[in-house]
Amino acid sequence: MTQLEDRGASHVPHEAGSTAGVDEALMEAIIAAIRTVHDPEIPVNVYDLGLIYRIEPMTGGHVEIDMTLTAPGCPVAGELLSWVEKAVVGVEGISGATIKLVFDPPWDNSRMSEDVQLELGLL
């Protein structure tokens, strides 16, 4: 399991030691697929924006993902989750995905990667 919940300002991406037995290449492919999905209001992908809290590949090619939104009232919440699901299911070796919307902990801009914070002028 990959927990991405304590990124803080430094944005700690997936680390090899945190997946205990999960194929590193598969995790990298899943993350790369998630990075193709961009928030429609902020021109940044949802992974580097810090919206992905957990990625857990399961047996049988299924993956579970916990993600949040920049704001609970996001008008494209349903579409955003389906975009992530569609991107992940396109990864070789993934046959299905469950995307769970969570709001704990609440998202704030400290969850963005440092590169994104610099790009957006927040650092």
Q: Tens digit of pLDDT for each residue in 95-108?
A: 999 999 999 999 99
Please report the pLDDT score of residue 4 as a whole number: 54
* Whether the Cβ atoms of residue 117 and residue 82 lie closer than 8 Å to each other: no
Domains of the chain: 2-119 (3.30.300.130)
Predicted TM-score (pTM) of the model is 0.81
Following CA atoms 34, 54, 58, 36 in sequence, which dihedral angle do they give, to the nearest 10 degrees? 0
Q: CA distances (Å), 67 to each of 13, 119, 121, in order?
A: 14, 22, 24
pLDDT 10s digits, 8-56: 333 334 433 344 556 899 999 999 999 999 998 888 999 999 999 999 9
Q: Residue 52: count other Cβ atoms within 10 Å of its Cβ.
A: 28
The pair of structure tokens assigned to 119 is 């790009």
d(CA 7, CA 30): 18
Q: Which residue has the higher pLDDT, 4 or 91?
A: 91
